Structure 1
């Protein structure tokens, strides 16, 4: 990890709190949690400020965590945040029996401190952080007392505790900065001494779009069969907005690691095959290009969150980044059908519908561009004309309804390896709210994990000039 990354973390480590007896600490923590929940139900206007600091896991009492999640769900859905409405959500989620007694939510409601939600949320976040740090220090002590304990493990845990302390008052993992991630990956994994808009990235597509690109408040969905390249396309957009256009961008990936996303971004930016980057099989010239890309990342407002997140948690992260860094322009979600859902739905179609509706609410409420990918069903493979249509979007018509723009990806060589159109892809703009629909052809350079304009005499952005 580079020095500036550690400096950012160490500078934020808080001073030790005043000493408390264990029983007093637990009682105070429980009191803070009750004030947080009561104030949220009494003063829902405080909830956005509170969610910058806390999430369900911030509560020591798991029951309180479930109540906070129900409060957040009511708030996001535009429902009254009142004990009665929260109770209904707890019933649907199967958590109502965990409450101490039937009137417990009303007891919490009586402990509200109107207008002080942000204050109590910050206190709770501090308590949660110190509990984690305290547990970690005890674990380090046990490791040091164990004969043969590895110092590398101790050092790794100690660095993790610094990261936890530096991130106090925020809701969990808010993503890894692309510069920190790239430095650790390239320096460590590749082993340098031994290793061999927002306009879109596609000018033809920009010309077709009414606003000559994508804009805040929109939900843009790229649909395609598995392996067609939909995730490559939305990673292209994240790289373009975050690195090329310097627009603050968040990537939420549900099925890849941060390093895997980084490799895709590096390949697309430098024009080096992804396989060569992963296998450490780089020429001296390629090493120079990757190193130059790493330097570009230092000033690139691009973060990668590589863990499953509900839409509520994604929205919390967006608000948190706005609070800490000033703004967020683009939110990339890969991909919609595997985003975890909140509460129980009768079937998968309703779950996907709820996810899309919440993504649209996120785009509008937070004034961000939301770009996501969606799986299509197998119907095109059974047809003579295998080009996908809106009706092929899998599991929910709400994907079409909530999206302002739907781009379906079709590659003829996906079905016919001998096709004369091998290496080409059609971006079928099947829906454009307030605009025309048509098809744009691009070059599919999937070994470089990117799509590029057919007309481009393309030079790798990370290459030496």
Structure 2
């Protein structure tokens, strides 16, 4: 079996660190765990401590530090320190040596992870199958060398990047180019204007009571992402089968009644609509998983599969819906369980660098209010969701409660929270028979403005 350490390389690195004071940047790249030998860990720990304090760290200084500690001096003597210092240090080879130690350190961590996985797998008392998977995935995510830690930046450097970006966007506008062409959009003009933008790490909650059309609304958003913006979307459908979802997508894209698609009763024009919709879907990068009651581990696993099959491309994850997900730990406390799920979804958005849209049921209590438009507190087990979410939207269709409503055929999208945008209400046209939400005509808004002004003048 290949040894996952190199004592000579560790010695060469320590020798360079003690002999050359100007290697501070290289010292900061290293961690104690990058050294295998215990005595080398002790030596490096003192070197780094001295460096961070802005003080010297040659062999004499390091030996004095070690000598003052009984446990350390029992493992390292003065002779060894002097032998390290007297060796020929070659700073030009230091980057190569550091890379070697980093590689070996990662492999040792992988080997250690294998041992931990074995223990977790055998602990049937402490872990359920789902929580075991969650724990293993959490441990494995720490090995991802592609994830860079957040750094501390001088404001002048950040300002240069921001101004450069602003100027670039301004120039594109001047040239007639859309500067936001790569920014994710819902596809609804007024709603996008309100939200301003959807960032790659956002958690977006779409809440509504049953029959309001939240699944259809979410499907319209991810259809727009894929069809019109060329994005890759993963849809986790815990409530409907992949076939049912696809029927809805065909109905929407082909603008043919969903009832006709499901019953297979349509004429030649309808057949043409279905064919056209299918042709569009064949070109879409949409992935559907219809496992009932998916867990956070399921979502992570499927997201990784999508990224592998698309060479790293995943632009959005949509989950239908939050309350039927399997929590990491079943505590019996629904508020705590939902909190764990919402927190986990936010982490998924950050880890995968793509927004997560999660549908949410609302409390039944709003049915008892005269005004049944949802508010933030109507989200079931809402505390943690309100905190974790970057955007929270509610859907309200007046015709569900008032059969003679003058607003029949429209829906209110109520923005309850928008971390970087504006709250308020946007109206959309609806045709749920064709699984469709769409922008209202300019004439509708003109007429609405007239009505609102008239109502205001009469007061």
Give the TM interval when normalised to the shorter protein: 0.5 to 0.7
> Shift of the alpha carbon at 1:242?
2.0
Aligned CA-pair RMSD: 3.3
In the alignment, the residues of structure 1 paired with residue 355 and residue 375 of structure 2 have an alpha-carbon distance, to the nearest angstrom, of: 24
* Bigger relative contact order, structure 1 or 2 (CA pairs below 8 A, ≥6 apart): 1
Aligned to 1:397: 383
Inter-CA distance 421–69: structure 2 relative to 1 (3 Å threshold): closer
User: SS in structure 2 opposite 1:397?
Assistant: helix
Inter-CA distance 453–64: structure 2 relative to 1 (3 Å threshold): same
For residues 95-131 of structure 1, what are the alpha-carbon distances to aligned partners after superposition, in whole Å with 9 as ceiling and x for unaligned? xxxxxxxxxxxxxxxxxxx99xxxxxxxxxxxxxxxx
> Shift of the alpha carbon at 1:395?
2.1
TM-score, length-normalised on structure 1? 0.58
> Shift of the alpha carbon at 1:384?
1.4
User: SS in structure 2 opposite 1:43?
Assistant: helix
5+ long unaligned stretches in structure 2: 1-107, 145-182, 444-459
> Shift of the alpha carbon at 1:432?
0.2
In the alignment, the residues of structure 1 paired with residue 334 and residue 136 of structure 2 have an alpha-carbon distance, to the nearest angstrom, of: 23
2:296 to 305, 311, 323: 311
> Shift of the alpha carbon at 1:317?
1.2
1:254 to 220, 224, 238: 238
Q: Contact (CA 8 Å) 2:320, 2:358: kept in 1 or not?
A: yes
1:43 to 70, 92, 113: 113
Aligned to 1:219: 203
In the alignment, the residues of structure 2 paired with residue 427 and residue 298 of structure 1 have an alpha-carbon distance, to the nearest angstrom, of: 30
| Paired residues for 1:53-452 under 5 Å | 70-74=131-135, 198-211=184-197, 214-308=198-292, 309-326=294-311, 327-452=313-438
Q: Contact (CA 8 Å) 2:134, 2:296: kept in 1 or not?
A: no
Q: Contact (CA 8 Å) 1:40, 1:46: kept in 2 or not?
A: no
> Shift of the alpha carbon at 1:210?
2.1
> Shift of the alpha carbon at 1:201?
2.2
For residues 350-387 of structure 1, what are the alpha-carbon distances to aligned partners after superposition, in whole Å with 9 as ceiling and x for unaligned? 11111111000000111011111101112221111111
In the alignment, the residues of structure 2 paired with residue 43 and residue 444 of structure 1 have an alpha-carbon distance, to the nearest angstrom, of: 51
TM-score, length-normalised on structure 2? 0.59
User: SS in structure 2 opposite 1:416?
Assistant: coil
Aligned to 2:174: none
For residues 156-179 of structure 1, what are the alpha-carbon distances to aligned partners after superposition, in whole Å with 9 as ceiling and x for unaligned? xxxxxxxxxxxxxxxxxxxxxxxx
For residues 383-421 of structure 1, what are the alpha-carbon distances to aligned partners after superposition, in whole Å with 9 as ceiling and x for unaligned? 111111001111232122111101111111111111111
Q: Contact (CA 8 Å) 2:393, 2:413: kept in 1 or not?
A: yes
Larger-gyration structure (1/2): 2
Q: Contact (CA 8 Å) 1:220, 1:405: kept in 2 or not?
A: yes
Inter-CA distance 287–368: structure 2 relative to 1 (3 Å threshold): same
Inter-CA distance 312–398: structure 2 relative to 1 (3 Å threshold): same
